[in-house]
A and B are shown apart, each in its own frame.
Chain A
Amino acid sequence: MTGVTLTLRTNPDFHLDASAIGGSLAQQPIAEILQLPLPVIAGKAALMVQDIFDALPRTDNRVVIQGELSRLHGIGNRWSSGALLVEGDVGDGFASRMSGGDVHLHGNAGNKTAQQMRGGILQVRGNVGDDLGCPLHGRRSGFSGGTLQVVGNVGQYAGYRMRRGTLIIQGDCGPYLGCDMVAGTLVATGCVGSGLGVGMHRGTMIVPSGTEFSDLRFTPPESQRLGIASIIANDLQARLPTLAAALRSTIARSLGDLTCSGRGELWFY
């Protein structure tokens, strides 16, 4: 099929569950997309996409969604293939359970963005609320694969119980970054709040030198040159060339969280 541009016609007065605008939407015909349900959160009514969006076919294969979408929650839910571009602010749960494809958000996102994401590439050119990449309720693992890049700031508990993949935050981070991290690579290039790496089991967090951390929880930083840093640098080269260059030389490394026998590592560049 060809792509589609969905433009928000009217900003709803109530919050909608827009998780139907996700999955394999890129493979669906426009007529089907227009019939997708948008249930009112905490209500009995349900709208359809056609009730609030205008749809126009595109010459490329992308799905583009435009408008002030902050009352629509769950856009990009279970996104699995194809390209999605969202232009405007979105609500909570953006790109939750994403497993593949290429998703770009030119705007801000609410809480629980990319919760339990496990594949694909997600880039947010804006700020994000709390619990970026967190697990779904009752699940053990959060962000579990793919590449997630936030150009702006993020709230608290970003990367909570992260298990795999690469999470890049270029703005400032709230408290408890990488809390209970299980594995994966988390890069933060801005200021980092308190509680860095609390409960960290394994994984790698790369933060600017001078970032505060608890010396009860982590070993004193030691200068090291690691082979794996060059491999990670290759992966980050296109997005963060300055950081990539720094990783190819010596870094300072701390291990922890010692209070839970963790073997995670903080790299200071």
Chain B
Amino acid sequence: MTMRVAGVPIEATFAEAFDMRATRVIITAETVDWARDAAAAMTGFGTSVIACGIEIAVERELSPDETPDGRPGMAILAFAVSSKELEKQIPRRAGQCVLTCPTTALFAGIDSDKRIALGKQLRYFGDGYQISKMINNRRYWRIPVMDGEFLCEQDTGRVDAIGGGNFLLLGRTLADVSVACRAAAAAIAPLADVITPFPGGATRSGSKVGSKYSGLFASTNEAFCPTLRGLVAQPFDDQVKAILEIVIDGMTFDSIALAMRVGITAACESVGTDGLVGVTAGNYGGKLGRHHFHLAEVMK
């Protein structure tokens, strides 16, 4: 029997996700606006590892009593397919987007023996005037800048994580599926340990591996493009006029499963069967990623 949420059928399939490497950093600033600005800059162009190198987004806003220096802050999660890419991208983004932003400071957001450099690299901007401070076995760098000092922790932790949890919303109209998608992203946003790295939490450009063009790693998944109905084989009927996908990266299997359940529930309840024809998930037949999120189990 088909599982339904608010009457919307949930397809008996699974989302296929991959091993990734992840880190968390905390940006603080004198005001929440500066913290948001720095976070927006640091997480820019970070939707997909296909071309951005990493998938990075704000995990959540932090109140002053949750941050190391008692100021408003933002927790940012970043995911990459390799440690090397993470080690390249994080210092680069921190240097150009956080160091440059007025009043900000940057701290580690996760503990692990494996480390990603922050101040360890950025300190050289101090040109010899930087100051190292070791407090409770954590090293901080104080780099003189025009508004005072940029305070930056030596490094942050790196952990194993999972990227590519997903679900697809099959809509009767673009307007309907857009509303459902926004509801799903809003429901997932407060959850810890997960991010939805695409714009607004959703993507319309679901992709398949490879292309007819030799230089491309990925190309449009024609099987899910309603405008190609009749031209290519498609796994849904003609009631489906638009599809949007929510992609979720998370620190653990359980955190992604929870986000999928919360997101699917919110999407279905927002527009019901008047707006959604069904919910499905993207996979590659289970051959590429070892983490399988079966919708039937996730929604239990």
Contact = CB atoms under 8 A, between A and B. Distances in A.
B151 A227 contact: yes
Interface string B250-287: 00000000000000000000000000000000000000
B142 to A, nearest CB: 5
Interface stretch (A94-102, A154-162, A230-238): A230-238
Contacts of A227: 69, 105, 142, 148-149, 151
A165 B151 CA distance: 19
Given A164-B134, A185-B135, A202-B131, A231 B149 contact: no
Interface in B170-209: none
B140 interface: yes
B135 A235 contact: yes
Interface in B284-298: none
Contacts of A204: 133
Interface string A153-176: 000000000001110000000000
A226 B135 contact: no
Contact of A228 (B70, B71, B129, B151): B151
Interface size class of A (residues with CB under 8 A): 20 to 34
Contacts, number: 46
A104 interface: no
A247 B204 CA distance: 50
Interface residues of B, number: 17
A263 B133 CA distance: 13
Interface string B135-150: 1100010100000110
B132 interface: yes
Contact of B140 (A224, A225, A231, A265): A231
B31 to A, nearest CB: 14
Contacts of B53: none
A228 B68 contact: no
A230 B133 CA distance: 13
A224 B151 CA distance: 14
Q: Which of B69, B132, B140 has its CB near the most chain A CB atoms (within 10 A)? A: B69
9 contacts: A184-B134, A185-B135, A224-B148, A230-B71, A231-B140, A234-B68, A248-B70, A263-B129, A265-B131
Given A227-B151, A228-B142, A235-B136, 17 more contacts: A164-B134, A165-B134, A166-B135, A183-B132, A204-B133, A227-B69, A227-B142, A227-B149, A228-B149, A228-B151, A230-B68, A230-B69, A231-B133, A232-B135, A234-B68, A263-B129, A263-B131
Interface of A: 164-166, 183-185, 202, 204, 224-228, 230-232, 234-235, 248, 263, 265
